[in-house]
């Protein structure tokens, strides 16, 4: 983060899944909600994207939006596909699973990107279900609620990680 006359530049975080209609917009919404609750919204730029382009321009999946709303969170993004320049535009790229992590690492390598790349569940204190956020798209409402809980715990951990100064940015 470079500093300016107005203080340090905001930390930019991009959450990434496959189609950008379930997991990554949910993570974007949860993280923004946590930032707002802590009065930190002005210190971060938060977005989400998908490695695939099938849903570009679409709003989040209605089941993801419903689960978010049931927890007081509004999902206001529209799907977009991650671009190679995102590997330099964002400070941190946060993948939901290993496939998307590998795609981001490949893009960053080709672009000589400077962003740190992580799995979201690196910051989940409850890793009993593995280290990926599973795709709930083909599951029922229970799957979306379970994914919401994983994402919420992980986003809390990510925010704490960033607040503690553990990220060198």
Residue 3 lies in a domain: no
The active-site residue out of 86, 121, 135, 155 is: 135
pLDDT along the chain (169 residues), means of 10: 62 97 98 97 97 95 96 97 96 97 96 95 88 90 92 97 70
Catalytic residue check, 23: yes
In a domain, 152, yes or no: yes
pLDDT at 21: 96
Domain with 103 in it: 12-163
Specify the number of domains making up the chain. 1
In a domain, residue 169? The reply is: no
The one catalytic residue among 17, 91, 97, 153: 17
17: annotated active-site residue: yes
Residue 123 covered by a domain: yes
Output phi, psi for 87, to 5 deg: -70, -15
Query: Tell me, what's the pLDDT at 4?
Result: 46
Q: Which of 22, 23, 86, 155 is catalytic?
A: 23
pLDDT score, position 5: 53
Residue 158, C-beta contacts closer than 8 angstroms, at least 6 positions apart: 13, 31, 94, 120, 123
CATH code for position 101? 3.40.50.2300
């Amino acid at each position: 983060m470079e500093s300016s006359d107005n203080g340090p530049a905001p930390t930019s975080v991009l959450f990434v899944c496959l189609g950008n209609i379930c997991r990554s917009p949910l993570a974007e919404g949860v993280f923004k909600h946590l930032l707002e609750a802590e009065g930190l919204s002005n210190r971060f730029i938060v977005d989400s994207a998908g490695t695939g382009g099938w849903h570009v321009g679409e709003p989040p999946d209605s089941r993801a939006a419903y689960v978010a709303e049931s927890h007081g969170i509004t999902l206001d993004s529209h799907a977009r596909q991650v671009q190679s320049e995102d590997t330099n535009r964002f400070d941190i790229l946060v993948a939901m699973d290993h496939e998307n992590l590998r795609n981001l690492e490949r893009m960053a390598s080709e672009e000589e990107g400077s962003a740190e790349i992580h799995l979201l569940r690196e910051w989940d204190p409850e890793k009993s279900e593995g280290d990926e956020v599973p795709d709930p798209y083909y599951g029922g409402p229970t799957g979306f609620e379970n994914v919401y809980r994983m994402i919420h715990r992980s986003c809390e951990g990510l925010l704490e990680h960033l607040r503690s100064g553990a990220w060198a940015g």
